[in-house]
């Protein structure tokens, strides 16, 4: 990874150029940097951010210079100071949500929105298992679960992260580096296990996640912070109780545009009503992006971090 200066063009058809105020730091940035996800090199990094519209291309409707906007899944390069993006990929930020908060919540918050409201629509009485509960997606998930009346059991790797997850609304926590996750889930649920597991850790937790599910439960494998899940023999789903499995991505949940707007509206309501607080736990300068990646990959961050272009 290195800092480079490039010229940013005038916005083309249906594009806007943003003066960026902050970009979100996400695990997907690591997948692109490491090559787990591939894009032609050289390329920028970052897909989440917030800023002001500074130029509007032909054909753009509903946006003008000076508008405050944010986005969840833009083209690679969100860490930069100036950024070209399709107008239909951004949403206007409510006045009460700051740029850093916007950059810290769009990708992660809309992920929790689809996981909890679309992939497995939580009703408010369930007990669920959520891995890496003190992370960026995790701390938003803890708060969203509390707001819904859902008992979220969160896994974490340290007592500090356990406290943080509980402060944000996790009903219980399990230190998966020391405790037997399946045994603890059985204990916490009185032997019934859970109807859904949200697993962004991947390789290391895959099999124990399946063992935490009720018969016909849903395994939502939505990330690979420990490495990707590969080589699955489908019969394992039969052996472990007619389980369902899905491997969803945010991008599929942001189209058509109406779905993106509805989800963003729901997320903004959760934040502006105070049910979810978005705290920026760390700020990195653009030049410190490599350090930001090392910290995130090294499990040293909690909650949402931002990069300031």
Ligand X SMILES: NC(=O)c1ccc[n+]([C@@H]2O[C@H](COP(=O)([O-])OP(=O)(O)OC[C@H]3O[C@@H](n4cnc5c(N)ncnc54)[C@H](OP(=O)(O)O)[C@@H]3O)[C@@H](O)[C@H]2O)c1
Site string for ligand X, 50-89 (x = CB under 6 A): ----------------------------------------
Residue 235, beta-bridge partner list: none
41: Cα within 13 Å, side-chain hemisphere: 8
Q: How far is the CB of 19 from ligand X (least distance, A)?
A: 25
Q: Say if residues 50 and 103 touch (Cβ distance below 8 Å).
A: yes
Establish if 135 lies at the interface with ligand X (CB under 6 A): yes
Alpha carbon distance 115, 120 (integer Å)? 6
Helical residues (DSSP H) of the chain, grouped into ranges? 27-34, 99-114, 136-148, 159-167, 181-188, 206-211, 235-239, 257-272, 289-297
Quote the tokens at residue 112. Answer: 């929790």
Residue 42 CB partners (closer than 8 Å, separation 6+): 4
**From 57-65, 84-92, 130-138, 208-216, span contacting ligand X (CB under 6 A):** 130-138
- Should residue 134 be labelled a site residue for ligand X when binding is judged by CB under 6 A? yes
**Interface with ligand X by CB under 6 A: which range of 2-10, 95-103, 196-204, 262-270?**
196-204
The piece of 61-69, 231-239, 246-254, 255-263 that touches ligand X (CB under 6 A) is: 246-254
Query: Least distance from C-beta 235 to ligand X, angstroms?
Result: 25
Window 88-127: contact mask with ligand X (x via CB under 6 A): -------------------xx--x----------------
- Rounded to an integer, what distance in angstroms lies between the CA atom of residue 162 and that of residue 233? 33
Q: CA-CA distance, 210 to 180, in Å (whole number)?
A: 14
For residues 140 to 179, the per-residue mask of contacts with ligand X, x marking binding by CB under 6 A and - elsewhere, is ----------------xx---x------------------
Of 59, 109, 51, the C-alpha closest to 84 is 51
Applying CB under 6 A, among 14, 86, 226, 281 the residue interacting with ligand X is 226
Q: How far apart are CA 9 and CA 226, in angstroms?
A: 38
Count other Cβ atoms within 10 Å, centred on residue 37: 13
| C-alpha distance across the termini of the chain, in Å | 15
The answer to whether residues 277 and 143 touch, using CB atoms and an 8 Å cutoff, is yes
In angstroms, what is the minimal distance from the CB of 194 to ligand X?
18
Kindly tell me which residue out of 246, 249, 269, 272 binds ligand X, with binding defined by CB under 6 A. Answer: 249
Is residue 136 a contact residue for ligand X (CB under 6 A)?
Answer: yes
Q: Does 309 bind ligand X (CB under 6 A)?
A: no
Q: Pick one of 74, 109, 138, 169: the residue that binds ligand X (CB under 6 A).
A: 138
Number of residues that bind ligand X (CB under 6 A): 30
In angstroms, the CA 267 to CA 105 distance is 9
Residues that bind ligand X (CB under 6 A): 26-28, 107-108, 111, 132, 134-138, 156-157, 161, 200-201, 204, 222-226, 248-250, 296-297, 299, 301
């Amino acid at each position: 990874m290195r800092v480079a200066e490039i010229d940013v063009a005038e916005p083309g058809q249906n594009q806007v150029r943003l003066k960026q105020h902050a970009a979100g730091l996400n695990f997907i940035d690591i997948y692109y940097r490491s090559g787990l996800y591939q894009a032609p090199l050289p390329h920028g990094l970052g897909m989440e951010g917030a800023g002001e519209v500074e130029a509007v291309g032909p054909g753009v409707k509903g946006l003008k210079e000076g508008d405050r906007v944010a986005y969840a899944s833009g083209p690679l390069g969100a860490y930069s100071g100036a950024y070209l993006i399709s107008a239909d990929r951004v949403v206007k930020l409510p006045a009460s949500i700051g740029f850093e908060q916007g950059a810290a919540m769009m990708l992660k918050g809309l992920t929790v929105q689809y996981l909890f409201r679309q992939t497995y629509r939580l009703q408010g009485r369930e007990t669920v298992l959520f891995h890496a509960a003190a992370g960026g997606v995790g701390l938003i998930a803890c708060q969203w679960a509390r707001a819904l009346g859902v008992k979220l059991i969160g896994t974490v790797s340290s007592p500090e992260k356990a406290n943080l997850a509980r402060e944000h609304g996790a009903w219980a926590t399990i230190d998966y580096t020391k405790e037997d996750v399946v045994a603890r889930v059985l204990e916490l649920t009185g032997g019934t296990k859970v109807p859904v597991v949200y697993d962004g850790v991947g390789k290391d937790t895959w099999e124990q996640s399946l063992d935490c599910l009720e018969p016909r439960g849903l395994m939502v494998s939505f990330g690979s912070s420990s490495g990707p899940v590969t080589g699955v023999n489908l019969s394992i789903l039969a052996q472990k109780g007619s389980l369902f499995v899905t491997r969803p991505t945010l991008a599929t949940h942001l189209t058509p545009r109406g779905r993106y707007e509805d989800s963003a509206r729901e997320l903004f309501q959760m934040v502006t009503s105070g049910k979810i607080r978005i705290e920026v736990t760390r700020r990195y300068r653009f030049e410190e992006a490599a350090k930001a990646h090392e910290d995130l990959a090294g499990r040293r961050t909690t909650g949402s971090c931002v990069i300031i272009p």
